[in-house]
Structure 1
Amino acid sequence: MLLPQSLEELLPLSHPARTVNSIIDRINMGSILDHYSTLGASSYHPKMLMKVLIYGYLDNCFSSRKIEKSIKESVPFMWLAGMQRPDHNTINRFRSAKLNGVIREVFSQVVLLLHDEGLLDIKDIYTDGTKIEANANRYTFVWGNTIKTNKEKISSQLQQLWDYAKKIATEELEDQSEDFKNPSPEKVIQTVDKINKALEGKKADKKVRQKLNYAKRNWPEKLQEYAKKEEILQGRNSFSKTDEGSTFMRMKEDHMKNGQLKPGYNLQLSTSKQFVVNYSVHQNPGDTITLKPHLEAYKSMFRHHPDTVTADAGYGSEENYDYLEKNGVDAYVKFNTFHKELRDKKKRKKTFTLLENLHYNQEDDTYTCPIGQKMTQINQVHRKTSTGYVQQYTYYMARNCQGCPLAGSCKKGAGNKILKINRKLEEYRNKARAKLTSETGIQKRKQRATDVEPVFGHFKQNKGLKRYALRGLEKVEIETGLAVIAHNLEKASRK
């Protein structure tokens, strides 16, 4: 070819690479530039590396080596890179180090630009979660309950050795008392030395002496190991040794199709018109306690809470309802029995034992049972959840259920019928029920199923994001940020 074609001519005007180029050129990269030194050789420009990385995730190319190869062979990659050729180490260092702590800021700028274009609404959002497998060995696991059991065994055996020594060497240990609950490595060594000193010259059981030698040689090291693992767990029940940030979660499908636990992360997304407007990655398998930190991440990006949140039954807890109400969020959040109530509406009206069918007298704070007997308050209990939220439960008891013809179907077990009521939660559920069954609520429930859930299907089936490529919570958050930015820009290019 006498006059070879330029890359500009080879790339169609509607190509997604042009959308990536246009949007990234408009964002402020100051927070990323702060990671660079002004000394030494010149670096590849972070905007070019960002464009290449985002387009890689848009094109299902997640490996830094594959991106390096594409930059040399693929027209869109060459066009975005301006014919520069960063190697895989440069790409990987930029992704892991330079984007650490700043990827969310880039994401928020992209969302606001798309919002200004009228493509999405950041105030009316739909929230749901899914589990993504970690890049970790499925069989190198550590369990919090196992650590707890082993520590209790050491405490128990140390107590047994002490009690045996007090019997054999009464004079030496009679006035000494020890507490062996949750002993430290130093405590184990001191105790074993005391026992050995007390048993000097005594006719002690050979197995006991062997046990003491084993304890001094192994238990301190084991306790140090358990302490390190508990520090990694930070309240979780498990982690994988090859990715300590991951937690073992039961996922809907695994490689053997038998529902085994796998190390993974809980990904929470909020969407608008199938654009992602907020994301967060969590180490706990349940969705209930993820809503507050997820919305706090939203607030940190946009400086306000959303006007409306629609979510599934996994988020319908008293703590979440309370948080949403206090922050002025119009919530359409189901509770766990919502669909069952709708399905069995007629049947529930005829079930006289249900709380909703019992008459409550607010003046004397009593419920009336099906045969007209008063049920009075007997106790109030405050319970604290794993997140520190305090719930109040009130107990009511009937006066005399003996001989009642309805007792068999009205209560379980012997004694009088007892009601356990969380009044605040019942009030929140009544409000949620009224909202969800309204015309707006029905529309919101339908929209949620077609707004946020298809995004998860797109990530997993079309993009192959069933398993993270990077390890560690920080890197997983970076990878997620790149994936959701790529998703938004790909969708924007189609618009």
Structure 2
Amino acid sequence: MNFKDYNQHQLFLFPPTFEDLIPEYHPVRIVNDVIDKIKIDPLLKAYKKEGNPSYHPKMMLKIMIYAYMDNTYSSRRIEKSVKENVNFMWLSGMKQVDHNTISRFRSQKLKDAFKDIFRQVVLLLAEEGLISLREVYTDGTKIEAQAGRYTFVWAKSIKTNKEKMLKQLEELWKYAQNIAAREDSDPEPPDFKEISKEKIRETVESIDRKLKGSNTTDKKGRAGAKSKLNYIKNNFEKNLEKYQNQEKILEERGSYSKTDHDATFMRMKEDHMKNGQLKPAYNTQVSSENQFIINYTVHRQTNDIGTLHSHLENLKETFGKEVFSNIKSLTADAGYGSEENYEYLQDNEIEAFVKYNTFDKEQDKNYQKKYKTFSKENLYYNKDQDFYLCPMGQRMDKTHESNATTKSGFKQKLSHYQAKNCVGCPIRGVCHHSKTNRSIERNHNLERHKEKVRELLLSEEGIVKRKKRCYDVEPVFAHLKHCHGFRRFSLKSLKKVEIEFGLHALAHNLRKKVA
């Protein structure tokens, strides 16, 4: 048998170094070179001059970023890699960092500095010509939070419970009024439209007086009323305080998780039970160019339509007005098509290649055949005299205008039109189903934006951008979720989750740079 020489106790006259063990174009060298080029002044502010010396923040940053490039997300696994993995040992200079230090660095030290680090890396990519920062592709995905899947608190449940409390108070008060022996009933009944601690106390005191002063022979009913009153005394104020605290945590949301108050219950595509179950999650938004992540934000909202404004404002704040003003176009799917978003993009002189909710349907010939004649979008509009014509040629004059406000506070102006006489119309059954004359509601400003967007999307440039969006921003989420196993956050709270997603985004950009 012929084998190569094997001797574990062989001594080396010149022992090998890390430089000999790590290939010249290994990704760990890219991490090292990139971090050496950036400034870490904001990160230094997180450290104190007093006390024991800390590990150098640049070393910790290199370890953390390379760990995320290597799909190592647990602080304990990073600690193990620093002790055993040649690449980590080279980055750390043989310093052995424990998992607590790694965890504190990620969740506390990077809190105020990481966005600036990310910005510098993106600008380095722009200097190398990998991105231009002139056109962006935006999309979002929901990523499960590190929270219990059945620890939900619903805004609707709180509202229902408060209504039940009011109803019980009202019923008990009416019973006390009916059985009161003395004629000292309140001149006006309490207002049972809104509940408060003061109202509970006043109503309980009033009921208590009436029950004590009554001479009713209905002992069973009176005992039941006293039992209910004792329950109200012992629990209602405490429960109301709990509901008020929950409403503060909810703010404008419909739900939150008890184990991560910033997480909202959302419907996930990657559902482990395959039944569309709601799970605590965060809505992550990404703007990309050439599959490089230019900007990222994390939101508690369940839909994408209300995130674009704050996402782009974050981009402006991170990179400055000068870089933001260089962006000439934004491409996104129909989840972002709203009057508010179109107005924002117009004000910032960004061409909006952003679909509205019916754009794809309009391209369907079957949809056009079925709805073209009777749809309000296709009714003839006389702009000079401000009236519509129904499918039978009847004039629909403006009846009034109204104002609406979206959840984000954006104000809309709506115009209302109505036909004068639909009685006996031969096509009434297919034209509309109203019991009176047909009426329509139109947002002329939104229609103006939609007309402009339709023209952009159907142009040659728009067709190219719509196709490119599918292989620019969407593969970013595919890489993060499916190639690198990032389907659930490891940290809790919005601030920490933003850092975690930022580390994934930066690691993605460096992997893309290496490729």
- Name the residue aligned to 1:274: 291
Q: Secondary structure at the match of 2:461?
A: helix
Deviation of 1:348 after TM superposition, in Å, equals: 4.5
Deviation of 1:74 after TM superposition, in Å, equals: 0.6
Deviation of 1:203 after TM superposition, in Å, equals: 3.5
Structure 1 position 296 matched with structure 2 position 296: no
**Runs of 4 or more above 4 Å deviation:** none
- Name the residue aligned to 2:159: 148
Cα distance in 2 between the residues matched to 1:406 and 1:296: 49
Cα distance in 1 between the residues matched to 2:401 and 2:59: 62
Q: Secondary structure at the match of 2:392?
A: coil
- Name the residue aligned to 1:331: 352
- Name the residue aligned to 2:248: 231
Cα distance in 2 between the residues matched to 1:356 and 1:161: 54
Deviation of 1:488 after TM superposition, in Å, equals: 0.7
Deviates more, 1:138-147 or 1:298-307: 298-307
- The one of 54, 71, 86 aligned to 1:75: 86
- The one of 79, 91, 108 aligned to 2:102: 91
Deviation of 1:452 after TM superposition, in Å, equals: 0.3
- Name the residue aligned to 1:200: 212
Cα distance in 2 between the residues matched to 1:75 and 1:172: 87
Deviation of 1:161 after TM superposition, in Å, equals: 2.1
- Name the residue aligned to 2:219: none
Q: Secondary structure at the match of 1:491?
A: helix
Structure 1 position 40 matched with structure 2 position 55: no
Deviation of 1:425 after TM superposition, in Å, equals: 1.0
- Name the residue aligned to 1:321: 342
Cα distance in 1 between the residues matched to 2:403 and 2:371: 32
Deviation of 1:165 after TM superposition, in Å, equals: 2.5
Deviation of 1:462 after TM superposition, in Å, equals: 0.9
Deviation of 1:37 after TM superposition, in Å, equals: 0.9
Structure 1 position 389 matched with structure 2 position 410: yes
Question: 1:84-483 counterparts in 2 under 5 A?
Answer: 84-169=95-180, 171-175=183-187, 177-203=189-215, 205-304=222-321, 305=324, 306-344=327-365, 347-348=368-369, 351-483=372-504
Cα distance in 1 between the residues matched to 2:193 and 2:426: 52
Once the two structures are superposed, what CA deviation does each residue of 1:101-126 show, in whole Å capped at 9, x if it has no partner? 32111111111111111111222110
Cα distance in 2 between the residues matched to 1:389 and 1:356: 23
Deviation of 1:346 after TM superposition, in Å, equals: 8.5
- Name the residue aligned to 1:16: 27
Deviates more, 1:351-360 or 1:419-428: 351-360
Cα distance in 2 between the residues matched to 1:346 and 1:153: 46
Percent identity between matched residues is 50
- Name the residue aligned to 2:4: none
* Greater radius of gyration (CA): 2
Cα distance in 1 between the residues matched to 2:185 and 2:34: 77
Cα distance in 2 between the residues matched to 1:146 and 1:367: 44
Cα distance in 2 between the residues matched to 1:118 and 1:173: 83
Instruction: Pick closer, same or farther for the CA change 1:138–1:431 going to 2, 3 Å.
Output: same
Cα distance in 2 between the residues matched to 1:458 and 1:79: 27
Q: Is the 8 A contact 1:348 1:354 kept in 2?
A: no
Q: Secondary structure at the match of 2:80?
A: helix
Q: Is the 8 A contact 1:185 1:221 kept in 2?
A: no
Instruction: Pick closer, same or farther for the CA change 1:348–1:296 going to 2, 3 Å.
Output: farther
Cα distance in 1 between the residues matched to 2:152 and 2:371: 50
Cα distance in 1 between the residues matched to 2:366 and 2:352: 23
Unaligned runs of 5+ in 1: none
Instruction: Pick closer, same or farther for the CA change 1:191–1:358 going to 2, 3 Å.
Output: closer
Deviates more, 1:390-399 or 1:444-453: 390-399
Counterpart amino acid of residue 172 in structure 1:
D
Deviation of 1:138 after TM superposition, in Å, equals: 0.5
Deviation of 1:401 after TM superposition, in Å, equals: 1.3
Cα distance in 1 between the residues matched to 2:98 and 2:378: 70
Cα distance in 1 between the residues matched to 2:353 and 2:372: 27
Deviation of 1:281 after TM superposition, in Å, equals: 0.4
Cα distance in 2 between the residues matched to 1:64 and 1:35: 20
Cα distance in 2 between the residues matched to 1:301 and 1:27: 15
Counterpart amino acid of residue 235 in structure 1:
E
Cα distance in 2 between the residues matched to 1:172 and 1:74: 84
Q: Secondary structure at the match of 1:268?
A: strand
Would you say how many aligned residue pairs link Structure 1 and Structure 2?
Answer: 494
Q: Is the 8 A contact 1:349 1:357 kept in 2?
A: no
Instruction: Pick closer, same or farther for the CA change 1:227–1:349 going to 2, 3 Å.
Output: closer
Deviates more, 1:480-489 or 1:188-197: 188-197
Deviates more, 1:289-298 or 1:149-158: 149-158
Unaligned runs of 5+ in 2: 1-10, 217-221
Counterpart amino acid of residue 352 in structure 2:
A
Q: What TM-score do you get using the length of structure 2 for normalisation?
A: 0.93
Q: Secondary structure at the match of 2:236?
A: helix
Deviation of 1:395 after TM superposition, in Å, equals: 1.4
Counterpart amino acid of residue 327 in structure 1:
N
Instruction: Pick closer, same or farther for the CA change 1:220–1:416 going to 2, 3 Å.
Output: same
Q: Is the 8 A contact 1:135 1:243 kept in 2?
A: yes
Deviates more, 1:103-112 or 1:405-414: 405-414
Once the two structures are superposed, what CA deviation does each residue of 1:138-178 show, in whole Å capped at 9, x if it has no partner? 01111110001101111222122223323333633323553
